[in-house]
Amino acid sequence: MRQIGIGLAGLGTVGAGVYKHVAQNRALLMERIGVELVVRRAVVRDPSKARVAGPSREQLSTRWQDLIDDPAIDIVVELMGGIDEPLALIRAAVTAGKVVVTGNKALLAEHGQEIFALAAEKRVPVFFEASTAGGIPIIKTIREALIANHIVSIHGIINGTSNYILTRMTDARLDFAEALAEAQAQGYAEADPTLDINGWDAAHKAVILASLAYGFWVGTDQIFVEGIDRLTATDIRFADELGYRVKLLAIIKADAAGPDGTAGSGGIEVRVHPTLIPKHHVLASVSGVFNAVRVCGDVVGETLFYGRGAGQDPTASAVISDLAEAAISLGGARGSYGFTPHGLYGNCRPLEDIRSRYYLRLAVDDKPGVLGQVASILGRHDVGISSVVQPETHDEAGRAQLVLMLDRASHRQMQSALEDILRLSAVMPPPALLRVESFTT
The tens digit of pLDDT for each residue in 89-114 reads: 999 999 999 999 999 999 999 999 99
Burial class (CB in 10 A: 0-12, 13-18, 19+), 23: middle
User: Of 20, 49, 98, 205, which is the active-site residue?
Assistant: 205
Is 205 a catalytic site residue? yes
Mean pLDDT of 336-340: 89
pLDDT band at 343 (very low <50, low <70, confident <90, very high): confident
Contact criterion met (CB below 8 Å) for 353 and 255: no
Domain ranges of the chain: 3-127+313-329, 140-308, 352-436
Give the pLDDT confidence score for residue 261 in this predicted structure: 45
In whole angstroms, give the CA distance from residue 269 to residue 351: 8
Give the pLDDT confidence score for residue 256 in this predicted structure: 59
User: pLDDT tens digits, residue range 277-291?
Assistant: 999 999 999 999 999
Question: What percent of the chain lies above the pLDDT cut of 70?
Answer: 97
In whole angstroms, give the CA distance from residue 218 to residue 307: 26
User: pLDDT tens digits, residue range 199-256?
Assistant: 999 999 999 999 999 999 999 999 999 999 999 999 999 999 999 999 999 999 998 5
Q: pTM higher than 0.75 for the full model?
A: yes
CATH number, domain 352-436 = 3.30.70.260
CATH number, domain 3-127+313-329 = 3.40.50.720
Burial class (CB in 10 A: 0-12, 13-18, 19+), 185: exposed
Same-fold call for 140-308 versus 352-436: no
pLDDT band at 23 (very low <50, low <70, confident <90, very high): very high
Question: What percent of the chain lies above the pLDDT cut of 90?
Answer: 86
Q: Which fold has domain 140-308?
A: Dihydrodipicolinate Reductase; domain 2 (3.30.360)
Give the end-to-end CA distance of the chain in Å, rounded to a whole number: 49
